[in-house]
Amino acid sequence: MNRKNSLGRLVASVLTLAALLAPSAQAADETVRIGYQKSSTLTLIAKTRGTLEKALAPLGVKIQWAEFTSGTPLLEAVNVGSIDVSADVADTVPVFAQAAGAQLTYLALETPSPEAQAIVVAKNSPITKLTDLKGKRIAVTKGAGVHLLITKALAGVGLSLKDVDLAYLQPPDARAAFERGSVDAWALWDPFFAELQKSSEVRVIADGKGITPYQRFYLAATSYANKRPDVLQAFFNDIAQTGKWAKQNPKAAADLIAPLIGTDSPTVERAIGRRSLDVRLVKNDVFEEQQKIADTFLSLGVLPSPVVTKNALLWAPK
C-alpha cells in the first residue's frame, strides 16, 4: 500500500512538473515573423550580428525572417497576417496599406534621409532637367517613397503624373527596363541607387533634398503589438542601438551586410552614408504628415479609397 502511494505521489509530481514546464516550453517555441527588404539597413545589420536574436531570447521568442522586394508587398503581408513586425518602409507605404484595410501600429521611425532616393537617367540621355521628363516613360515602384518623390518633383516644375508615362515596376524589373532603354528614367532608392551608380553611368536629375524628406517607419500588426509589447520594446531598443553603431562604424556595417544585399562593401557604405540611421519613437504629429501623403495620392487617383491615417496606432514603451 505504501509502495502504491509512493508511486502515485511520484506520478503526480511528474505531472505537476510537466504542467509547470509546459508554458515555458511553449514560450520558447514562440516565433515572431519579421519582414525586411534590401533597404532595411539596420534590420539587416541586427540580423547578421545576431543582436536581435539575443535580445528576444530571454522573452522566449525566436525570429522567422522573410525578405520582400519592396515595402508595399511587405506591408501587404502584414495586412494578411503572415508577418508580425515590419522593418523600415518608406513613409508612403503605410498609407497604401491602410487603404487596403491593414490594422497597423507605428513602432519607430528613421529620421529623414532625402538624398537616399533619386530620379536618374542614363548619362547619354537628352534629359537634363525635370521639365524634360514631360511625355517620358519613368520606372517607379507604386506606393514606394519614390512614388511621392516623382509626384512632388514634377509638381515643383508645373507638371503632374498625367504629363508622364509611369511604369509601375519592382526594383529588379525596373533595373532591367532601365538598362535596356525601355524606360527613359528611373525613380529609385538605396541600396538600388548605389548599386546602379556602381555599375552604370547615370545622371541624377533630382534627389529628395528640398522635395520630400523620405522618412522610414517600422511597424507592426496591431494584433501583435497588443499581444507582445515586450517584443516590440526589445526590437526598438536593439534597432536604435544598431543605428548608433552603424553610424559610428559605416565600413564595418557595410562589410557585414554587403553579401546579403548582393553587392560589394564600398557600394553599401555609399548607401549607408546617405541614410540618417537615427531611430526614434513616433509622435502624434506623424499622422498629419501621413494624411497629406494620403490626400495627395487620393487626389491623383492613385490611392483606391480615402484613408484616415490617425486610425493607425502609435506604440509607446511602458
Domain boundaries, the chain: 25-112+215-314, 114-207
Nearest residue to 85 via CA among 101, 62, 104, 72: 104
Could you give the percent of the chain with pLDDT greater than 70? 91
End-to-end Cα spacing for the chain:
55
Task: Give the Cα separation of 262 and 240 in Å (integer).
Answer: 25
| 25-112+215-314 CATH choice from 3.40.50.2000, 3.30.930.10, 3.40.190.10, 3.40.630.40 | 3.40.190.10
Second CATH level (architecture) for the domain 114-207? 3-Layer(aba) Sandwich (3.40)
The pLDDT value recorded for residue 80 is 96
* pTM for this entry: 0.87
Q: Name the phi and psi angles at 197, rounded to 5.
A: -65, -30
38, 163, 278, 290, 310 from 285: Cα distances, Å: 28, 33, 18, 9, 10
Chain centre to alpha carbon of residue 111? 13
At 24, list the grid cell. 515555458
The pLDDT value recorded for residue 20 is 41
Task: Give the Cα separation of 234 and 181 in Å (integer).
Answer: 46
Domains 25-112+215-314 and 114-207 share a fold: yes
Q: What is the pLDDT confidence band of residue 151, given thresholds at 50, 70 and 90?
A: very high
Q: 31: buried, middle or exposed (CB in 10 Å: 19+, 13-18, 0-12)?
A: exposed
Mean pLDDT of 179-191: 97
The pLDDT value recorded for residue 53 is 96
The string of pLDDT tens digits covering residues 231-290 is 999 999 999 999 999 999 999 999 999 999 999 999 999 999 999 999 999 999 999 999
Q: Is pLDDT of 100 > 50?
A: yes
The pLDDT value recorded for residue 145 is 94
The string of pLDDT tens digits covering residues 121-140 is 999 999 999 999 999 999 99
Q: What is the pLDDT confidence band of residue 317, given thresholds at 50, 70 and 90?
A: confident
Q: What are the residues whose beta carbons fall under 8 Å from the beta carbon of 113, sequence distance 6 or more?
A: 208, 214, 215, 216, 274, 275, 276
Q: What is the pLDDT confidence band of residue 28, given thresholds at 50, 70 and 90?
A: very low
Mean pLDDT of 185-191: 97
The amino acid present at 268, given as its one-letter code, is V
Q: Please report the beta strands in 12-75, taking only residues with DSSP state E, as ranges in sequence order.
A: 30-37, 61-68
At 57, list the grid cell. 531570447
Q: Is pLDDT of 64 > 90?
A: yes
The pLDDT value recorded for residue 318 is 74
272: left (phi over 0), alpha (psi -120 to 50) or beta: alpha
Could you give the percent of the chain with pLDDT greater than 90? 87
Question: Does residue 107 contact residue 32 with C-beta atoms inside 8 Å?
Answer: no
